[in-house]
Amino acid sequence: MNAHEIDYKIFGEEMQFVEIELDPYETVIAEAGSFMMMEDNVELTTIFGDGSNEQESKGVWGKVLSAGKRLLTGESLFMTAFTHTGQGKRRVSFAAPYPGRIIPLDLSALGGKVVCQKDAFLCAAKGVSVGIEFSRKLGRGFFGGEGFIMQKLEGDGLAFLHAGGTIIEKELQLGESLRVDTGCLVGFTRDVDYDIEMVKGIRNMVFAGEGLFYARLQGPGKVWIQSLPFSRLADRMMAASRQYGTGSSKGEGSVLGGLGNLLDGDNW
């Protein structure tokens, strides 16, 4: 194996974190800002790109190019590497940024490559390459929800994704297809064909409230789907803040609304 062989345990329900167990000189890489805690003899290093073997073989320009590509996905130029420099076993933990689930992926059992939404990657064993995947289809790029650029994870080690709500894994057989809300798509394996499909019917387009396009996924391969995209959660929070304002604390679900607050004495 090229990637480090790490062990892990996931804790929590709605707000999860993953604890990575490291043997001496094993390393895990993570997105900047995902660190939660670490034990003694674990050292943090800031690196360009992902520190994968492929990147290292390309020298300085390989590192610069890899780090520069990360800007296209909205991520930082830098990643953090956590290495166990002592004896025995040590642990380092990484936390989910919002309510949802952490998904462990064994890339060696998934064909060596998974394509995912741009903000899904949390951490991985050193040796896993974290790059970008360009869409070759104009329709998918303009209307697919993720634009022309997605993230790709390549290698033979463990990687961890995070997405909102409940996560379901679907395995599609050859020729089997699945239509998904574009915001609910978390990731898919290398052989899955991903495209977009327009919603049929003018009435459905205008009044259904589900957007104009589906993500259409065709097997063979595995697909991961989330029940609560962060964009949907943010939209609901913004709508609630506009409707009720910051001073409203009671009667939010009531027909009386502000009148209920007045009768309760909140405005006296």
Q: Write the pLDDT tens digit of every residue in 158-177.
A: 999 999 999 999 999 999 99
Strand boundaries in 85-203, DSSP class E: 90-95, 100-106, 113-116, 121-125, 129-134, 149-154, 158-164, 167-172, 177-181, 185-189, 193-198
Within-domain flag for 64: yes
In a domain, 265, yes or no: no
Q: Give whichever of 42-51, 95-104, 135-144, 198-207 has the largest mean pLDDT.
A: 95-104
Q: What is the length of the chain?
A: 268
Count of domains for the chain: 1
Continuous H helices in 4-58: 53-57
Over range 76-98, report the average pLDDT: 91
As given in the structure block, the two tokens for residue 7 are 């062990």
Q: Domain for residue 1, yes or no? A: no
Query: Which helix H or strand E contains 243, and what residues bound it?
Result: helix 230-244
- Check: CB of residue 18 under 8 Å from CB of residue 101: no
3-state secondary structure of 21: strand
How many Å is the maximal CA-CA distance in the chain?
A: 71
Which H or E run includes 48?
Answer: strand 42-48
Give 150 or 136, the one with higher predicted confidence. Answer: 150
164 occurs within a structural domain: yes
Residue 227 lies in a domain: yes
Residue 79: beta bridge partners? 31, 47
Q: Is 125 inside any structural domain? A: yes
pLDDT tens for each residue of 27-76: 999 988 899 999 999 999 988 766 765 555 555 555 555 555 555 555 66
CA torsion angle for 205, 168, 220, 184 (degrees, to 10)? 30
For residue 257 the two structure tokens come to: 């609304």
Does residue 251 have a pLDDT over 50? no
Average pLDDT value over all residues in the chain:
79
Q: Is residue 149 predicted with pLDDT exceeding 90?
A: no
**Per-residue model confidence (pLDDT) at position 20:** 97
CA distance 106 to 111: 9
Question: In which residue are the tokens 């019917």 written?
Answer: 201
Domain housing 159 = 7-234
- Residue 209 pLDDT greater than 60, yes or no: no
Say if 27 falls within a structural domain. yes
**pLDDT: is 178 or 31 the higher one?**
178
257/150: higher pLDDT: 150
Q: CATH number for the domain including 119?
A: 3.60.160.10
The conformational region for residue 155 under phi > 0 = left, psi -120 to 50 = alpha, else beta, is: left
Residue type, 216: R
Would you say residue 246 lies in a domain?
Answer: no
Peptide bond into 104 cis (omega under 30): no
pLDDT of residue 54: 57
pLDDT of 205: 47
